[in-house]
Amino acid sequence: MHRFFSAEQIGDTLLEAFKGVMTAPNTYFAAMPEARDYRDSLMLLCIYLAIPALVIGILSGVIGTIIILPASLLFGAIGTWMWAIYLGWAARRFCSSELSTVDAFQISAYSSAPLVFSWIPVIGMIAWMSNLYLNWQGLVSHARISAGAALLIILAAFFIMALSFAVLAAVLIYATAHYGVQFPDPAIWF
């Protein structure tokens, strides 16, 4: 029997949720109940995001903690919510799934468990890849989407993002070469 995270019982459910999603993601996501609201998932996501932010902040000093922690929580929550909107839309549009944005956010929040290790230089990249794998596993096991369709949903998002970065880089290179645009030296920002 799996125990899922509850904001009312953080001490009793946090480690159980972390252990469940990290050791047996297939059965854990399959047994996951439908999300009622964002509260539990958002709290779990904030805990997962706060751990590496606090470690990085402590390593960089008090000012670093004051800046990094709120920025990490804000951008992490907004980014996860936007990712959940995309996952829910793609699942409904292309896979005839009934995955709601709230359920997609729940999958994304639980899938963020490996990110507690994202502050470790090489392990951080593995943690991000594990996050994507767990998102895929959540789509397959919880939303009942085929493995291939779930993979295409995740890869399509990264293709669009990579294409956007390539276009932005091309525009910046073009502007620099043709219009003499000079960007400020980052060394003088602080």
Q: Counting Cβ atoms within 10 Å, is residue 139 exposed (0-12), middle (13-18) or buried (19+)?
A: buried
Classify residue 153: in a domain, yes or no.
yes
Task: Please give the sequence-ordered ranges of beta strands (E in DSSP) within 86-125, or none if there are none.
Answer: none
Percent of the chain scored above 90 by pLDDT? 54
For the segment 49-63, the average pLDDT, to the nearest whole number, is 85
Q: Centre a 10 Å sphere on the Cβ of residue 73 and count the other Cβ atoms it contains.
A: 17
Classify residue 107: in a domain, yes or no.
yes
Classify residue 60: in a domain, yes or no.
yes
**Gyration radius from the chain CA atoms:** 19
Residues 157 and 24: their CA atoms lie apart, in Å, by: 26
What three-state secondary structure class fits 38? coil
Classify residue 189: in a domain, yes or no.
no
Q: What is the pLDDT of residues 134-190, one digit of tens each?
A: 999 999 999 999 999 999 999 998 898 889 989 998 888 887 777 776 767 777 765
Classify residue 190: in a domain, yes or no.
no
Residues 124, 118: contact at Cβ < 8 Å?
yes
Residues 45, 53: contact at Cβ < 8 Å?
no
Give me the pLDDT at residue 28, please. Answer: 92
Of the CA atoms within 13 Å of residue 182, those in its CB half-sphere come to 2
Give me the pLDDT at residue 78, please. Answer: 94
Q: Is the pLDDT of residue 70 over 70?
A: yes
Classify residue 188: in a domain, yes or no.
no
What three-state secondary structure class fits 86? helix
Classify residue 63: in a domain, yes or no.
yes
Classify residue 1: in a domain, yes or no.
no
Give me the pLDDT at residue 66, please. Answer: 81
Dihedral sign (CA 120, 72, 39, 103) = negative
| Number of domains composing the chain | 1
Structural domain containing residue 112: 7-180
